[in-house]
Amino acid sequence: MKILLYTDLTIRSDQLFWHRDLGLLTKAFRDLGHDAYLVVHPAVDPLSKIKNSTSKIPEEPVLWASPSQVRDKEWWKDHHPDLVILGLWTRPKYDPIRRAALLATPRVIERADSDGMRTASCGLLTYAKRRFDYFRDRTFRWPSPLSILASTFYSFASILATPWIEYRLRKTLRLLPSILVETLPATLLWKSLARRLGADPEKIHHVPHPIQTDIFKFDPTVPKKNQIISVGRWDSYQKNLPLLLKTLCSFLDKNPTWTSLVIGSGLPSKSPHPQITFLPPLPPPDLTRCMQESKVFLSSSRYESFGLAAAEAATCACAIVGPSEILSHCNEPTFFNSPSNRLLARLSDASFFLCLPPPIRLSSCTPPEIAQQVIRLSQSIL
């Protein structure tokens, strides 16, 4: 099969993400013998500056396309895809792309990458908080009073606009042949929403994110340290770095035998505590080693659609502590079982560390299994 996997991202050639998301899925399809390509926008203008719009390097099966090309039905038809997988977050503004792809093949599947809180009818208070947090994340560099005011207005306006939002979303849901949702709780929310909007809930399927389980895995030869690890984009409001550092500092002050690794982009130049080490984003093998050495993965996120870093840590036998309101991708009771304001209490619970969990074996999240699930779903599309 020829498979095109498209997401509306503008990136450089050195930023291609083969270790996660649609990049990892592209590689999985190719490992199964399919002719799969990741479709992204080049971070150059114009497109003609790229000497060859199709990478011929086996390690980089990518098609570079302009935003106008992916809205053109002829571009899709020229590539003769048997299956198209879209990473467009079910946003109605991308309907022209969906229609163009559907004219090339009826087998179009979209990954929602969503926690299911798409409209106020999914839960008014939770939805209002999600909208506030979402806009704060996008105005995080604004002066704080202005960002808070704008986010409050955006949240209130989103609630008032629910009929219009649901009208547009209804059209998108009816247009798409199949939708993949990453967690089971979010899938149930999506199915309920589809019924309310008069769309077919049977086209919505629970398919997790793929995880590099050949790299992120438990290694019994690696001894566990009294170490807490956290991973994220720390210049993001979503990840809530202030809460993370406050919790860690309070815990480490009382537990001098413990240390913490905070890994990712957007970190301050100096650590606020001698037992906290800041590290830049690490390649998967190095990150795996850090997770294998750690006992706890601490999340402070305000919201997540899946929580990929937490899932990777769980496969390395890390206990997971984080806000209970974050939807879990599995039914393990240890996942995100502490409210945000009790993270410290959970960390400080001595019994919590006496019985650390075994590695969560996310066999259904291996790239080949996810790729095979998608192929099976595509075959059911008429």
Reported as a single tens digit per residue, the pLDDT across 198-237 is: 999 999 999 989 999 889 999 999 999 999 999 999 999 9
Take residue 317 and report the two structure tokens written for it. Answer: 């036998």
Beta-sheet pairing, 2-11 with 83-87: parallel
Higher-confidence residue of 30 and 19: namely 30
Backbone angles phi, psi at 276, to 5 degrees: -110, 125
Whose structure tokens read 């170490």? Answer: 227
pLDDT digits (tens, 9 = 90+) for 99-158: 999 999 999 999 999 999 999 999 999 999 999 999 999 998 899 999 999 999 999 999
**Residues 179 and 110: beta-carbon distance below 8 Å:** yes
Is there a shared CATH topology between the 2-111+163-210+367-379 domain and the 227-365 domain? yes
Cα(323)–Cα(341) distance, integer angstroms: 8
- Structure confidence at residue 307 (pLDDT): 86
- Structure confidence at residue 359 (pLDDT): 56
- Structure confidence at residue 169 (pLDDT): 97
- Structure confidence at residue 324 (pLDDT): 64
- Structure confidence at residue 339 (pLDDT): 44
- Structure confidence at residue 76 (pLDDT): 98
Question: Which CATH superfamily groups domain 227-365?
Answer: Glycogen Phosphorylase B; (3.40.50.2000)
- Mean pLDDT, rounded, of the chain: 87
pLDDT above 50: residue 336 = no
pLDDT above 70: residue 346 = no
pLDDT above 60: residue 357 = no
- Structure confidence at residue 306 (pLDDT): 86
pLDDT above 90: residue 45 = no
**Residues 298 and 230: beta-carbon distance below 8 Å:** yes
Extents of the domains making up the chain: 2-111+163-210+367-379, 122-160, 227-365
Cα(322)–Cα(334) distance, integer angstroms: 10
* Closest among 285, 294, 289, 219 to 259, alpha carbons compared: 294
pLDDT above 60: residue 358 = no
pLDDT digits (tens, 9 = 90+) for 166-206: 999 999 999 999 999 998 889 999 999 999 999 999 999 99
Cα(217)–Cα(298) distance, integer angstroms: 18
pLDDT digits (tens, 9 = 90+) for 209-218: 999 988 999 9
- Structure confidence at residue 367 (pLDDT): 92
Cα(165)–Cα(195) distance, integer angstroms: 15
**Residues 315 and 216: beta-carbon distance below 8 Å:** yes
Which CATH number is associated with domain 2-111+163-210+367-379? 3.40.50.2000
Rounded mean pLDDT of 56-63? Answer: 71
**Residues 265 and 233: beta-carbon distance below 8 Å:** yes
pLDDT above 80: residue 329 = no
pLDDT digits (tens, 9 = 90+) for 301-312: 888 888 889 889
Backbone angles phi, psi at 371, to 5 degrees: -60, -40
Backbone angles phi, psi at 146, to 5 degrees: -70, -40
Position 321 confidence tier, pLDDT thresholds 50, 70, 90: confident
The shares of helix, strand and coil residues in the chain, as percent rounded to the nearest 5, are 45, 15, 40
